[in-house]
Chain A
């Protein structure tokens, strides 16, 4: 049992289990699984109250969501510290590509040369974290949900907008990976 917990769970095991959280949340409290809404509830909780968009009863609308997301963070930390430390598997070709972009520290779950406080002072770090973060937030608000809400909950509810959003997620991801990222990383060192 412990050996199984310590191993990496394949997609065909972890995927269905993650999907089961949709009916679990529905059956427990009529809640729709989603992550990004918590950011809106967080802003509503700490905003001074002058922003109309965030002026609603966040306790009633989103306290459960905030607790769920806090649980996700706690569960991730718990699992990462109790379980074995698997090195991130990165192919040799990708490592060479990253080295050409000046990215050599592959010890964490994200390259420190881009995702760190120090990197924020550099153009590519700022573009990746601040500009990228803004675009993710804008896209999530504009689309009415993020990858978890649309791809897990929305598709399970057979929502056409969610299907269109998921197609857009993959199209945007592929476009960024093949065209935007090489220019961003290669040109902004």
Chain B
């Protein structure tokens, strides 16, 4: 689950290799999240009932 507790890597939420979490990149992750949320909400997946 987290980078400190997961038993194997590559399944979400962690760093691969050398972390490059520069503070300047943090807004970029937020923007990517906003775009992801927009795409998810616009998709027809909400009608899959």
Contacts and interface: CB of A to CB of B under 8 A. Distances in A.
Interface of A: 5, 8-11, 13-15, 17-18, 21, 24-26, 28-38, 40-41, 44, 53, 56, 60-65, 67-80, 83, 86, 88-91, 94, 109, 140-141, 144-146, 148-150, 152-154, 157, 159, 161-162, 165
Contacts of A8: 42-44, 47
Chain A contact residues, majority secondary structure = helix
Interface residue tally of chain B, by bracket?
A: 35 or more
Contacts of B20: 29-30
Given A21-B35, A31-B21, 17 more contacts: A14-B45, A21-B36, A30-B20, A34-B14, A37-B13, A40-B2, A64-B25, A72-B34, A72-B37, A75-B39, A78-B34, A86-B47, A88-B49, A89-B49, A144-B6, A145-B13, A152-B12
A157 B21 contact: no
B23 to A, nearest CB: 9
19 contacts: A8-B42, A9-B43, A28-B32, A30-B18, A35-B13, A37-B14, A63-B21, A64-B21, A67-B26, A71-B33, A72-B33, A75-B36, A79-B37, A83-B41, A86-B47, A88-B49, A91-B49, A149-B12, A150-B12
Contacts, number: 214
Contacts of A149: 11-13
B46 A75 contact: no
A37 B1 contact: yes
